[in-house]
Structure 1
Amino acid sequence: MQILVDADACPGVIKEMLFRAAKRAEIVVTLVANQFLRTPPSPFIKAIQVSAGFDVADARVVELATAGDLVITADIPLAAAVLERGAHALDPRGNWFTRDNIQERLTMRDVMDQLRNSGVETGGPAPFGARDSKAFASQLDRFIARYQAARKGA
């Protein structure tokens, strides 16, 4: 199991949590982005820089994702693609993308896109805050604990 991060838009505080978790749990965390990423030295932390272009980083994340991996992303189509590969998808606010909710989220994304394209002001997501960080940390810790328990039981 590895953790893959759609790192271009991932908040810095989330990356820092992932760096600490990688070292503590000895799980490989791989950040994928269109830009250079500074990471702490660790055998458990990798960064992959892809060329600029529409969804190039997303395509690389999908290519790397395997069943059981955890993908950190706020990108709904990317989440849908990795779920199809058997990976888990968690957004930086601590919300899970699942087979049960992904279609609804894709539909809502498309509706909002249509509204924006027709000139309707839809706003954006609420600012990322401490509550979001705490929710993410809680979900990440639970996921890693389940993974480690399963690994010990195997």
Structure 2
Amino acid sequence: MKIWVDADGCPVVKITIEEAKKHSVPLVVVKNHAVRIEDDYAKIVTVDVTRDAADYYIVNHMEKGDLVITQDNGLSAMALAKDGKILNQNGRWITNDNIELILESRHISQKERMKKKKSYTKFKKREKTKDDNFRRELVSFIENI
């Protein structure tokens, strides 16, 4: 089992590296050229900056049972189709039982944004509780493999 991190815009890369290293779990961090990440433990793969390049790299190289860390619901759906385990940046498990609802909600939100023709660019400051939830779920998964 490997952990794959979709590092483009992922706020939990450092936490994932810390825990993978602590538990000696193989880890691959996939990023585009615009993201700077260096680490002696993780294997860092750099892909081009085209849309979804990191997603396709992960899906094409992951194996059944691998854990994918991503906030991208499209990647989550593709990884589920390959029998991967998916954990988002907030510690929420994406499964075959909830992916349809997640994708439908994303579609509805996109349609609403297009109707209002607004750009939503302000991000709220990340709450520490989200990092704590993520770490707890990641460690629990690792300790139970």
Query: If the length of structure 1 is used for normalisation, what is the TM-score?
Result: 0.86
User: What residue number does 1:93 align with?
Assistant: 90
Task: Provide the C-alpha distance between the structure 1 equivalents of 2:93 and 2:119, rounded to a whole number of angstroms.
Answer: 23
Could you tell me which runs of 5 or more consecutive residues in structure 2 were left unpaired when the two chains were aligned.
none
Q: Could you tell which deviates more after superposition, 96-105 or 16-25?
A: 16-25
State how 1:127-142 maps to structure 2 within 5 Å.
127-142=125-140
User: What residue number does 1:151 align with?
Assistant: none
- Secondary structure at the aligned position of 1:77 is classed as helix
Task: Provide the C-alpha distance between the structure 2 equivalents of 1:125 and 1:38, rounded to a whole number of angstroms.
Answer: 22
Whether the 8 Å contact between 1:82 and 1:88 is mirrored in structure 2 is yes
Q: Could you tell which deviates more after superposition, 20-29 or 103-112?
A: 20-29
Match of residue 47, structure 2, among 41, 45, 50: 50
TM-aligned CA deviation for residue 40 of structure 1: 2.2
Whether the 8 Å contact between 1:37 and 1:47 is mirrored in structure 2 is no
User: What residue number does 1:40 align with?
Assistant: 39
Q: How much is the aligned-residue C-alpha RMSD, in angstroms?
A: 1.7
User: What residue number does 1:28 align with?
Assistant: 26
User: What residue number does 1:152 align with?
Assistant: none
TM-aligned CA deviation for residue 22 of structure 1: 2.0
Match of residue 80, structure 1, among 77, 81, 87: 77
Task: Provide the C-alpha distance between the structure 2 equivalents of 1:26 and 1:62, rounded to a whole number of angstroms.
Answer: 23
**Percentage of pairs with the same residue:** 29
Task: Provide the C-alpha distance between the structure 2 equivalents of 1:138 and 1:59, rounded to a whole number of angstroms.
Answer: 28
TM-aligned CA deviation for residue 39 of structure 1: 2.3
- Secondary structure at the aligned position of 2:20 is classed as helix
Task: Provide the C-alpha distance between the structure 2 equivalents of 1:127 and 1:68, rounded to a whole number of angstroms.
Answer: 32
Whether the 8 Å contact between 1:94 and 1:135 is mirrored in structure 2 is yes
Task: Provide the C-alpha distance between the structure 1 equivalents of 2:137 and 2:98, rounded to a whole number of angstroms.
Answer: 17
Task: Provide the C-alpha distance between the structure 1 equivalents of 2:100 and 2:91, rounded to a whole number of angstroms.
Answer: 19
Could you tell me which runs of 5 or more consecutive residues in structure 1 were left unpaired when the two chains were aligned.
148-154
Whether the 8 Å contact between 1:4 and 1:70 is mirrored in structure 2 is yes
User: What residue number does 1:5 align with?
Assistant: 5
TM-aligned CA deviation for residue 15 of structure 1: 1.7
